[in-house]
Structure formats: C-alpha cells, structure tokens
Amino acid sequence: MEDDLRAALRADLAGERPPPLGDVVGTAISRGRRVRRNRRLAAVGAGVAVLAIAAFAAFGPGPQLPPLPSALPPESVPSIAAPPVAAVPPRSVTVRNGTQRAEGMQKKATPTAMLHLLTTLLPPGRTSHYAVARDDDLHVQLYYDAGYGPSMLRAQVARKDTGVARGSAAKLTVTHVPDDCVQDTDVRATWPDGTTVQLDIATCLEFDGRTDPPAKAQLSEAEAALIVADNRWGVTMDAGLVDQAAAEFPTALPVFTR
C-alpha cells in the first residue's frame, strides 16, 4: 500500500511543470547576512541602553549630571563624574584642547596615571600584575580579583581630534569579540572631542603573549561602563592625579605584549 501511494504521488508530480528555481541560495545568504547584521546592531543598541540605565541608576541624578532630555538618544549616556570629584559649577569648568576638565591643572596623561585611576574606579577587589604597553601608549593592563581568582583588564585612552569640545555626553559601545579572549568584552566611551576610553574585559590571562590561561571575567558591562564614562579619563589628566600616580608607581612597569 505504501509503495502504491508513493508511486501515485510521484506520478502526479511528474505531470507538473515547475517554474525555474531561481537563485534561492544566493538570496538566502544575502538575506541571512542582513538579518545577522541587524541583530548585531540591535544587540549593541540594547546593550548600550542597558548600560545607560545601569549607570544612571547607580549614581542617580546628582548635581553634576546634566538634566536628562525627554528623548535620550539610545547610544548616549550622560557623562558621569566620579563620586570623589565635587560638583563643579559651570564657571569653574575650563575647556582646554577640547577636553572638559572639572578643576585644577592638566598634565599629559601617563600609563601610571591610568593605572591609578583604574584602580580607584574598580569595585572592591585585589589588583596586581600592573603592566604598560610599549612605546608609551596610553594602554595599561592589570589583574583584578574580586574573589574568584585573577582576571585581566586592559584600558586604553586615545584621542582623534574632532575640533569640537568634549561635551557632556559620551557614546557607550559594548562589543563582544568571541575569538579574542583578551578582548572578550570591549566597553568603550567616546566623547564628541574624539577622546575614546576603552576597557577590555578578558577571559584569559595573557601577560606574556605565550600562554592563554582562562580566567573568569569579574566586571560587569555596567560596571565597566561606569569606569570608562568617568570624566577624568583623557589624553591629559588632572596634574595632581598624574603626580600621585608617578609616586605610586616609581619604578618602570613590565611591558605587555599584544
């Protein structure tokens, strides 16, 4: 019976004249790629929105925060000054080289100043294995242990002059790089003046570039967002902070390889 049914179906089909198939495969690939791209963009947008909410919720509408617009751009979050920095009246803010600074003298940023600021901003935990990039780049590395064993973080500051002021809103971007354990999660703040602060949350400990022992990431995206959105980061930093960092790290630090 089953064979008869099969034969009848095939006989009926044999009488059909199907139209040309067309490029269904090429179309599927192009549509699929477009869907993937849109999903990635949506994921980044959702991540940024979550970070904005988390950052705002963590600090609340403090006096130094600009009033929230009724329709906050999804990719933007108000710039957040860290708690130790006092609220700054508008008149005391100076704009120098396009970088907004709260108070005091500015100096060229140094890797040690970055390490100092990073350790200040990190949630409670143990830090160690401080290292810097070669060629005096503003790119530093440390190990961070919040109780789950050491994990690695790298921070980088750069600026591509856009000719405009620093502004009060930073664009936050979260990117996941699944094939790169050093940059498993890349949280980045970009200000209108072209200053970019990037924090890489690694899932491995790659200090010397030869071994990649796995490590548990211990910093959330929201916590990382609060760190990179701190207004003290820049290619120039508060002079007092730079001097304090130089005293804290008096000897040359190891150089990490990429």
Please give the residue ranges that form the binding site for another protein (CB under 8 A): 1-2, 4-6, 8-13, 16, 18-19, 21-22, 24-25, 27-29, 31-32, 35-36
**Is the Cβ of residue 31 or residue 126 nearer to another protein in the bound state?**
31
DSSP-based three-state secondary structure for 59? helix
235 close to 159: Cβ distance less than 8 angstroms: yes
**Is the Cβ of residue 38 or residue 92 nearer to another protein in the bound state?**
38
Q: How far is the CB of 185 from another protein (least distance, A)?
A: 21
Q: Quick one: tokens of 90?
A: 């508008």
**Cα–Cα dist 16/154, whole Å:** 64
Closest CA to 119 of 146, 93, 100, 137: 146
Q: How far is the CB of 30 from another protein (least distance, A)?
A: 9
Please give the helix or strand (H or E) that residue 96 lies within, else none: strand 94-96
**Cα–Cα dist 232/28, whole Å:** 48
DSSP 178: T
Amino acid at 14: A
Q: How far is CA 236 from the centre of its chain?
A: 20
Q: How far is the CB of 63 from another protein (least distance, A)?
A: 48
Q: How far is the CB of 126 from another protein (least distance, A)?
A: 38
